[in-house]
Amino acid sequence: MRIDPAGWPFITGPLAPAALLAAGGRATGRRWPRLAAWPFLGLSAYMALFFRDPDRRCDSTPAAADEVLSPADGVVMVAGEPQEGVAPDGEWQQISVFLSVVDVHVNRSPYRGEVVESSYRKGSFLAAYRRESAHRNERSEIWLRDGDRTVVFRQIVGVLARRIVTRTGPGQHLATGERMGLMKFGSRMDVFVPPECEITVTKGQRVRGGESVIARWPATR
């Protein structure tokens, strides 16, 4: 299983005290240092699970031209009309995905095209499932354009997620489902598509980043 590079400090960090405790237990013949090492080993194992980066179908089979894919693993919180005061200016539909602390947190581009705008805004760290987190929490916003098609998506931090990693910027071209960053610990992602798109998911549905189709453009090309 691939591990995202951002995860290695979190994975290796707990191993140092675990090794010291285990070595101390062997040297003294005492049992408690070896027992005390296990929580650190468990923490390291969890970090490896959190920062896992599995391949998805889009990595081997390109998505259809009209498909918008989920940018993350999680549960759909919003599907359809945008939350008040959340969407960018203009007419949009909103799909929001909540990521728990056990979901894959590597983020993927929901659609293809050129990154024409990228911004980062500091903010609060409210629970990502709360409605107001969409406009009050710290977030990164990316605008993708492919011809006359535009998709906007956001990485939004939560209570535990205190850092957004965005590995793309203006001028870069992204493929549908391409890895573009991650959020460290529980968080949410919002995707905004124009009214002419058909929303293909419902609130409460589980989705997989890079695989689940969350919207479709009209088949005009």
Contact between residue 177 and residue 214 where contact means Cβ atoms under 8 Å apart: no
pLDDT of residue 220: 61
pLDDT tens track for 153-185? 999 876 555 578 899 999 999 999 999 999 877
pLDDT of residue 101: 83
Q: Each residue of 3-16: b (16+ CB within 10 Å) or e?
A: bbebbeebbeebee
Distance of alpha carbon 146 from alpha carbon 76, whole angstroms:
25
pLDDT of residue 21: 85
Query: Exposure of 152 by Cβ count < 10 A (0-12 exposed, 13-18 middle, 19+ buried)?
Result: buried
pLDDT of residue 195: 96
The whole model's pTM is what?
Answer: 0.86
- Coil, strand or helix at 11: helix
Tokens of 14: 């707990």
Spans of the chain, pLDDT less than 50: 125
CA distances from 118 to 155, 194, 199 (A): 11, 19, 24
Could you give the count of Cα atoms lying within 13 Å of 12 in the half-sphere of its Cβ?
Answer: 6
pLDDT of residue 131: 54
Instruction: Establish whether 187 is a catalytic residue.
Output: yes
Of 109, 133, 187, 212, catalytic? 187
pLDDT of residue 176: 97
Distance of alpha carbon 180 from alpha carbon 156, whole angstroms:
14
